[in-house]
């Protein structure tokens, strides 16, 4: 299963890399594929569109065993990104 998932992700990966991002396969269990966005994709405002309309659609259409795709969110990474966002916006205001 991992090889099937990686093959689909490898075909989609160039589009993510082009925007400074990437995607990592984490796990597959009970029909659910768990992924993690990396780089710019990890904090992009369009990440849900990319996931649902691109990656999830491709995985479910090409691998019938997959019934859903979920993102694993690295909470520490998310918190750091939010702090950096506010630091930049605060600095811009002063």
- pLDDT (tens digit per residue) in 12-54: 999 999 989 999 999 999 999 999 999 888 888 888 888 888 9
Residue with tokens 């702090």: 83
Q: Which residues pair with 24 in a beta bridge?
A: 36
Question: Would you identify the CATH topology of the domain 2-93?
Answer: GMP Synthetase; Chain A, domain 3 (3.30.300)
The structural domains of the chain, with segments of one domain joined by +, span 2-93
Find the mean pLDDT for residues 60-85.
74
Q: What's the predicted TM-score (pTM) here?
A: 0.74
Separation CA 23–CA 50 (nearest Å): 11
Q: Compute the chain's Rg from CA coordinates.
A: 15
Rounded-to-integer distance, Cα 20 and Cα 25, Å = 17
């Amino acid at each position: 299963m991992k090889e099937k998932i990686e093959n689909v992700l490898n075909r989609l990966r160039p589009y993510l890399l082009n925007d400074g991002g990437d995607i990592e396969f984490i796990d597959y269990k009970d029909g659910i594929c768990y992924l993690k966005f990396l780089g710019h994709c990890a904090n992009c405002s369009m990440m849900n569109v990319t996931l649902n309309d691109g990656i999830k659609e491709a995985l479910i259409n090409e691998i019938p065993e997959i019934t859903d795709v979920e993102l694993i969110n690295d909470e520490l990474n998310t918190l750091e990104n939010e702090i950096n966002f506010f630091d930049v916006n605060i600095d811009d205001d002063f």
